[in-house]
Amino acid sequence: MWVTVPGMIRKLLHTRYRVNDLEKTVRFYKEVLGLQELRRSKSGRGSELVFLKAPASEELIEICHYAASGPVQVQPDLTHLAFEVEDWDAFETHLKRLGIIVADGPHRGSDGEVIAFIDAPEGYEIELIQRPKGK
Protein backbone atom coordinates (compact mmCIF):
# COMPACT_ATOMS: atom_id res chain seq x y z
CA MET A 1 0.00 0.00 0.00
CA TRP A 2 1.29 3.45 -0.93
CA VAL A 3 1.28 6.19 1.66
CA THR A 4 -0.04 9.53 0.42
CA VAL A 5 2.64 12.19 0.78
CA PRO A 6 2.04 15.85 -0.15
CA GLY A 7 3.70 16.49 -3.52
CA MET A 8 4.34 12.71 -3.89
CA ILE A 9 7.74 11.27 -4.65
CA ARG A 10 7.43 9.88 -8.17
CA LYS A 11 10.52 7.85 -9.03
CA LEU A 12 14.18 7.18 -8.30
CA LEU A 13 16.37 9.35 -10.52
CA HIS A 14 19.92 8.38 -9.63
CA THR A 15 22.24 6.81 -7.09
CA ARG A 16 25.56 8.43 -6.21
CA TYR A 17 28.87 6.73 -5.48
CA ARG A 18 31.83 8.86 -4.41
CA VAL A 19 35.24 7.67 -5.63
CA ASN A 20 38.94 8.52 -5.38
CA ASP A 21 39.77 8.01 -9.07
CA LEU A 22 36.99 9.36 -11.26
CA GLU A 23 38.45 8.41 -14.64
CA LYS A 24 39.38 4.85 -13.64
CA THR A 25 35.89 4.26 -12.26
CA VAL A 26 34.09 5.78 -15.25
CA ARG A 27 36.24 3.71 -17.61
CA PHE A 28 35.25 0.54 -15.68
CA TYR A 29 31.53 1.26 -15.91
CA LYS A 30 31.77 2.07 -19.61
CA GLU A 31 34.21 -0.60 -20.80
CA VAL A 32 33.35 -3.50 -18.48
CA LEU A 33 29.60 -2.96 -17.97
CA GLY A 34 28.78 -1.11 -21.19
CA LEU A 35 27.12 1.87 -19.53
CA GLN A 36 26.71 5.09 -21.47
CA GLU A 37 28.13 8.37 -20.18
CA LEU A 38 25.36 10.95 -20.42
CA ARG A 39 26.96 14.06 -18.98
CA ARG A 40 29.69 15.58 -16.83
CA SER A 41 29.41 18.59 -14.59
CA LYS A 42 30.86 20.32 -11.59
CA SER A 43 28.64 20.96 -8.58
CA GLY A 44 28.42 24.28 -6.78
CA ARG A 45 30.70 22.99 -4.04
CA GLY A 46 33.28 21.67 -6.53
CA SER A 47 32.43 17.98 -6.88
CA GLU A 48 33.23 16.47 -10.27
CA LEU A 49 30.20 14.47 -11.43
CA VAL A 50 29.69 11.92 -14.20
CA PHE A 51 26.24 10.48 -14.91
CA LEU A 52 25.99 6.99 -16.44
CA LYS A 53 23.07 4.89 -17.67
CA ALA A 54 22.46 1.22 -18.46
CA PRO A 55 20.77 0.62 -21.84
CA ALA A 56 17.31 -0.43 -20.58
CA SER A 57 17.18 1.69 -17.39
CA GLU A 58 15.77 5.09 -16.63
CA GLU A 59 17.71 5.52 -13.38
CA LEU A 60 21.22 6.95 -13.55
CA ILE A 61 24.39 6.31 -11.61
CA GLU A 62 26.23 9.43 -10.49
CA ILE A 63 29.97 8.94 -9.99
CA CYS A 64 31.37 11.73 -7.83
CA HIS A 65 34.91 12.84 -7.05
CA TYR A 66 35.14 15.33 -4.18
CA ALA A 67 38.69 15.52 -2.86
CA ALA A 68 37.77 18.02 -0.13
CA SER A 69 35.87 15.35 1.81
CA GLY A 70 38.90 13.07 2.08
CA PRO A 71 39.68 9.64 0.67
CA VAL A 72 36.92 7.13 0.01
CA GLN A 73 37.18 3.94 2.07
CA VAL A 74 34.46 1.46 1.13
CA GLN A 75 33.74 -1.13 3.80
CA PRO A 76 33.27 -4.73 2.62
CA ASP A 77 29.66 -5.69 1.90
CA LEU A 78 28.45 -2.12 2.50
CA THR A 79 26.52 -1.56 -0.72
CA HIS A 80 26.27 -2.77 -4.28
CA LEU A 81 24.66 -2.08 -7.62
CA ALA A 82 22.78 -4.93 -9.32
CA PHE A 83 22.58 -5.22 -13.10
CA GLU A 84 20.60 -7.64 -15.22
CA VAL A 85 22.77 -9.58 -17.67
CA GLU A 86 21.21 -10.97 -20.84
CA ASP A 87 23.55 -13.97 -21.18
CA TRP A 88 25.81 -14.81 -18.23
CA ASP A 89 28.12 -17.14 -20.18
CA ALA A 90 28.80 -14.52 -22.86
CA PHE A 91 29.28 -11.82 -20.23
CA GLU A 92 31.66 -14.02 -18.23
CA THR A 93 33.76 -14.52 -21.40
CA HIS A 94 33.85 -10.71 -21.77
CA LEU A 95 35.00 -10.35 -18.14
CA LYS A 96 37.76 -12.93 -18.58
CA ARG A 97 38.97 -11.19 -21.75
CA LEU A 98 39.32 -7.97 -19.71
CA GLY A 99 41.02 -9.72 -16.79
CA ILE A 100 38.09 -9.10 -14.42
CA ILE A 101 37.80 -11.74 -11.70
CA VAL A 102 34.42 -12.99 -10.54
CA ALA A 103 34.58 -12.43 -6.77
CA ASP A 104 31.57 -14.60 -5.87
CA GLY A 105 29.69 -17.09 -8.01
CA PRO A 106 28.34 -17.74 -10.45
CA HIS A 107 25.51 -19.30 -8.47
CA ARG A 108 23.08 -21.10 -10.76
CA GLY A 109 19.47 -21.74 -9.77
CA SER A 110 17.45 -24.67 -11.04
CA ASP A 111 15.17 -22.16 -12.83
CA GLY A 112 18.05 -20.76 -14.92
CA GLU A 113 18.79 -17.74 -12.75
CA VAL A 114 22.49 -16.93 -12.42
CA ILE A 115 23.92 -14.54 -9.81
CA ALA A 116 27.55 -13.45 -9.56
CA PHE A 117 29.55 -10.55 -8.11
CA ILE A 118 32.54 -8.60 -9.36
CA ASP A 119 34.39 -5.75 -7.68
CA ALA A 120 34.39 -2.27 -9.17
CA PRO A 121 37.22 0.18 -8.55
CA GLU A 122 37.18 1.63 -5.04
CA GLY A 123 35.81 -1.66 -3.63
CA TYR A 124 32.15 -1.26 -4.55
CA GLU A 125 30.48 -4.56 -5.43
CA ILE A 126 28.59 -5.17 -8.65
CA GLU A 127 25.93 -7.90 -8.65
CA LEU A 128 25.18 -9.47 -12.02
CA ILE A 129 21.92 -11.33 -12.49
CA GLN A 130 20.73 -13.41 -15.41
CA ARG A 131 16.99 -13.80 -14.99
CA PRO A 132 15.30 -17.14 -15.64
CA LYS A 133 14.15 -17.49 -19.24
CA GLY A 134 10.67 -16.04 -19.73
CA LYS A 135 10.76 -13.80 -16.64
Residue 93 confidence (pLDDT) above 70: yes
- Provide CATH code, domain 75-135: 3.10.180.10
Three-class DSSP category at 96? helix
Domain 12-67, architecture per CATH: Roll (3.10)
d(CA 3, CA 26): 37
Which of these, 26, 28, 20, lies nearest to 118 by C-alpha position?
Answer: 28
Residue ranges, comma separated, of all CATH 3.10.180.10 domains in the chain are: 12-67, 75-135
Q: How would residue 135 be classed by pLDDT, with cut points 50, 70 and 90?
A: low
The whole-chain average pLDDT of the chain stands at 93
Residue 6 or 47, more confident = 47
The alpha helices in 1-135, defined as continuous H runs, are 22-31, 88-98
Q: How would residue 8 be classed by pLDDT, with cut points 50, 70 and 90?
A: confident
d(CA 16, CA 42): 14
